[in-house]
Amino acid sequence: MAKIVGGINVTHVPYIGRAIANNLQQDPYWKPFFDGFPPVRQWLAKVKPDIAVVIYNDHGLNFFLDKMPTFAIGAAPEYSNADEGWGIPTLPPYQGDVDLSWHMIDSLIEEEFDIVTCQEMLVDHAFTIPLELFWPDQHPCPVRTVPICVNTVQFPLPTAARCFKFGQAIGRTIESWDSDARVVVIGTGGLSHQLDGQRAGFINKEFDLMFMEKLISDPLWVTRYSIPDLVELTGTQGVELLNWLTARGALLGEVAKVHANYHVPISNTASGLLCMEAV
């Protein structure tokens, strides 16, 4: 059966893509952020995943508001990035794993997660930037991928409890796949930030640090909060932490922290990085 080697949660701010393209990793503004990654890359080199299941939210590249799935999964042999309109570089395509995608679709729907299936799917910065950070300068990316989108854009959003259960179902389906593949689960987005409204620039360091700690020791902690609570505590886009929670759910059982980093600000965002493995 396939093995989940662990999980990594990370911020996906678009401008990270530009910083990578312009080689700004050691620039004083970016250094505290980029310096978080070498330990994660070392861990990846040790655990050697074949496949990354990437849980993220689309920002209006693949999905528009005409059709907005709460949960969607890619089932394509290849995923292309494309122009998002912000002038960040477009990256080469990512290889899919159609066998795992369809195994996941079968099992998730059997478990009553009636996910939208996409045999064609564009992947935006929320998918590409984490892979660029984990496997820098490696094109094509050395792992096959399965993208999973969670709606964190148009309310109502799935509750934190639902996302955690969805993650657990993702974990079970990976572990029931008849394959010797090694799988890393990646959750992207957050942490606290708000782009819109008079409260733009809102950041909540105290909550973020507690969330990161609880994600290891007590992931159900955050399920006490409603979506409006989470907006209040983390900002209108801080709710992307749902992707982190989903990825944590997929790790099933207890985990230990491999490495963490937290730095404010990257653009308008509190950036977070949390690498976890099963104990």
Partner 1 sequence: MNTSKQKRVIPGTTMFDGEQARKGYALNKMCFSFNSAENRAEYLEDKEAYCDKYGLNEQQKKAALSLQVLDMLAAGGNAYYLAKLGGIFGLDMQDVGAQQTGMTKEAFKAKLVEAGK
Q: How far is the C-alpha of 151 from the C-alpha of 163, rounded, in Å?
A: 10
Q: Do 267 and 206 form a contact (C-beta atoms < 8 A)?
A: no
Among 24, 135, 265, 278, the residue binding partner 1 under the rule CB under 8 A is 265
Of 73-81, 95-103, 150-158, 251-259, which part binds partner 1 (CB under 8 A)?
Answer: 150-158
- Partners of 8 in the beta sheet? 186, 275
Choose between 85 and 253: whose C-beta lies nearer to partner 1. 85
**Shortest Cβ distance from residue 232 to partner 1 (Å)?**
5
Q: Is 139 a catalytic residue?
A: no
Choose between 187 and 189: whose C-beta lies nearer to partner 1. 189
Q: Residue 9, interface with partner 1 (CB under 8 A)?
A: no
Among 2, 15, 181, 207, the residue binding partner 1 under the rule CB under 8 A is 15
Q: How far is the C-alpha of 259 from the C-alpha of 245, rounded, in Å?
A: 17
Strands 94-95 and 144-150 come out as unpaired
Q: Residue 224, interface with partner 1 (CB under 8 A)?
A: no
Q: Residue 215 contacts by C-beta under 8 Å, 6 or more apart in sequence? A: 9, 222, 244, 245, 248, 274, 276
Catalytic one among 12, 59, 103, 193?
193
Q: Is 125 a catalytic residue?
A: yes
Q: Residue 197, interface with partner 1 (CB under 8 A)?
A: yes
Q: Residue 82, interface with partner 1 (CB under 8 A)?
A: yes
Catalytic one among 12, 103, 125, 263?
125
Q: Do 211 and 160 form a contact (C-beta atoms < 8 A)?
A: no
Best CA proximity match to 190, nearest among 112, 126, 145, 144: 126
Choose between 38 and 197: whose C-beta lies nearer to partner 1. 197
Choose between 231 and 273: whose C-beta lies nearer to partner 1. 231
Number of residues interacting with partner 1: please give it, by CB under 8 A: 39
Buried b (16+ CB within 10 A) or exposed e, 191-227: bbbbeeeeeeebbbeebbeebbeebbeebeebeebeb
In a 10 Å sphere around its CB, with 0-12 CB exposed, 13-18 middle and 19+ buried, how is residue 29 labelled? exposed
Q: Residue 155, interface with partner 1 (CB under 8 A)?
A: yes
Tokens of 217: 């020791």
Choose between 77 and 197: whose C-beta lies nearer to partner 1. 197
Which stretches of the chain bind partner 1, using CB under 8 A?
15, 59-61, 64-66, 82-87, 153-156, 194-203, 205, 228, 231-232, 236-237, 263-265, 267-268, 270
